[in-house]
Chain A
Amino acid sequence: NAGVTQTPKFQVLKTGQSMTLQCAQDMNHEYMSWYRQDPGMGLRLIHYSVGAGITDQGEVPNGYNVSRSTTEDFPLRLLSAAPSQTSVYFCASSYQGTGDTEAFFGQGTRLTVV
């Protein structure tokens, strides 16, 4: 039972490079989201999706793009990496975007931008 799978687990980028963080879930969840975790800041919502073809911005969307072409996948794209994007990124999914539904998180991607 895979749950939410994130790849890669670790990544080092040079300033200005672009990359895509992958997220896949096998629970047929409609709702998926991306968070970044920084010391003392908690988890901050970057982008979220309530279903295939529908995405919206969270608290800190600048510098990131998302798309949702299938229910299973929700990739996060860094367009031009900056040192301020050094963080641990978590993808989460839940059954639906209403009510008290549990969010399931991946293991995270630790990104360093030098």
Chain B
Amino acid sequence: QQQVKQSPQSLIVQKGGISIINCAYENTAFDYFPWYQQFPGKGPALLIAIRPDVSEKKEGRFTISFNKSAKQFSLHIMDSQPGDSATYFCAASKSGKLIFGQGTTLQVKP
């Protein structure tokens, strides 16, 4: 049973465009929702995170939108750049135990 569902599996965006990745979770006990970015051959690294008492968090070109009632959250990458090409994972956490989504491979074309 997948507790965190992520879509799409892959995404191709033109440089300067907006990339949007969506996640849905089931367990209302989750209290922390991070996004991780992973480049080929590397381990995932924290990109941005949000707590459920906040509906939106922005850091530079990256924004998380959070809808607690729908149990959904999304990552928006504004002005997408070729350097953003990577795999993105959403996750949900309770007591530090991270449960990840399936991942989205993003390709930003020049």
Q: Which residues of A contact B (CB under 8 A)?
A: 4, 31, 33, 35, 40-45, 48, 50, 58-59, 90, 92, 94, 96-103, 105-108
User: In the complex the two chains form, is A45's CB within 8 Å of B98's CB?
Assistant: yes
Q: Is B76 among interface residues, defined by CB-CB distance under 8 A?
A: no
Nearest first, the 10 closest Cβ-Cβ pairs linking A and B are A97-B96, A105-B43, A43-B100, A42-B102, A42-B100, A100-B32, A102-B46, A42-B103, A31-B96, A105-B44
Considering the complex, give the chain A residue whose CB is closest to the CB of B99: A45
Q: Which residues of B contact A (CB under 8 A)?
A: 4, 6, 9, 31-32, 34, 41-46, 49, 51, 89, 93, 95-103
User: In the complex the two chains form, is B96's CB within 8 Å of A94's CB?
Assistant: yes
Pick from A43, A48, A96: contact of B97, CB under 8 Å: A48
User: In the complex the two chains form, is B97's CB within 8 Å of A100's CB?
Assistant: no
User: In the complex the two chains form, is A44's CB within 8 Å of B100's CB?
Assistant: yes
Contacts of B101 in A (CB 8 A): 42
Query: Which one of A35, A58, A105 has the greatest number of beta carbons of chain B within 10 Å?
Result: A105
